[in-house]
Structure 1
Amino acid sequence: MLLLSIAIAALAIGLISLALIAALKSKQATELDSAMQQLKDTSEQTHILRSEVSELRTGLLSIGKRVLEVEQQNQELVLQQAAQKYDDPDAKIYSRAVKMVGLGADLDEVIRECELPRAEAELLFSLHKQKGA
């Protein structure tokens, strides 16, 4: 009888242990599933972020190329403008007249030295006074 009660107690302890092991295994399986889902979500987010970074990188490279092109065009235009300024004899006359006005020459002196019509010389004086004011 004692042997039977020990066997029943051992069997009960074994069943309880088995139930606890099953409960722990179930809990671990749930936690593992949760961790796997988080890993999957994180992986998807990483993939999306990498795609966005790639798109941004492509866009920035495109913008950078465009900025370089615009800077090059601007430099070419500055050089062309400078070349035209020195190639145009009329521009030299007007540049000289503006310098003379800036240095305080009077109207008749600018007309005589730069061979400008009176109306143009008066216009230069008028514009110079507006800039100085």
Structure 2
Amino acid sequence: MITSLVASVVALALCCLVLLGLCLWLLRRQRQQAEQQAKRDAIRDRRIKEIDSRLDTFLDGSVRMGDQLHELSRLVTPLPDRITQLEQRDPNNFSFSQAAKLVGMGASVDDLTQSCGLSQSEAELMSKLHQARRDPPR
């Protein structure tokens, strides 16, 4: 009976040692995982800050672009009325809208100067404006 009691105590001691070893291994593994998680958290936080910085830059650019578009809209809005006024001033001259139609059909600068009575610089301007509408900037 004493030998079975000693054997039981030894077996219990061995089980306790195994459990202690397992606990130590689990504790070490938990610490390693905590360190790895801390590293991943630091990387995530750094990436979030970079994205936040990029977003702020993007938003600032968008606001500036919106302001510029608003200013351009303010400048462009009265242009149709002004073109109409210019066309009505001198009905004998070929209208700029008709010149724009000719440019749209492929008329050259020389064609515009000859058929519309435009100066060379006016014809070049009409041609460049039409080309800018056809090939918008990217």
Q: Secondary structure at the residue paired with 1:62?
A: helix
Give the share of equivalent positions with the same residue, in percent.
12
Q: What TM-score results when the alignment is normalised by the length of structure 2? A: 0.58
Distance of 2:93 and 2:47 partners within structure 1: 66
Which residue, 17, 20, 44 being the options, matches 2:19?
A: 17
Q: Secondary structure at the residue paired with 2:77?
A: helix
Distance of 2:9 and 2:93 partners within structure 1: 121
Distance of 1:57 and 1:68 partners within structure 2: 16
Could you say which residue in structure 2 is the equivalent of 1:33?
Answer: 35
Q: Deviations over 1:30-85 (max 9, x none)?
A: 11221222122112212211221121111112112211211221223333332233
Q: CA deviation at 1:95?
A: 4.9
Work out the number of aligned pairs and report it. 98
Q: What TM-score results when the alignment is normalised by the length of structure 1? A: 0.60
Question: Quick one: which amino acid aligns to residue 82 of structure 1?
Answer: T
Question: Quick one: which amino acid aligns to residue 127 of structure 1?
Answer: S
Could you say which residue in structure 2 is the equivalent of 1:92?
Answer: 91
Distance of 1:78 and 1:69 partners within structure 2: 17
Please list, as runs of the form range in 1=range in 2, the aligned pairs for 1:65-84 lying within 5 A after superposition. 65-84=67-86
Distance of 1:79 and 1:39 partners within structure 2: 60
Whose helix fraction is larger, Structure 1's or Structure 2's?
Answer: 1
Bigger CA radius of gyration: 1
Unaligned runs of 5+ in 2: 96-113, 117-138
Question: Quick one: which amino acid aligns to residue 70 of structure 1?
Answer: L
Distance of 1:72 and 1:29 partners within structure 2: 63
RMSD: 2.7
Could you say which residue in structure 2 is the equivalent of 1:7?
Answer: 9
Which residue, 52, 55, 65 being the options, matches 2:54?
A: 52
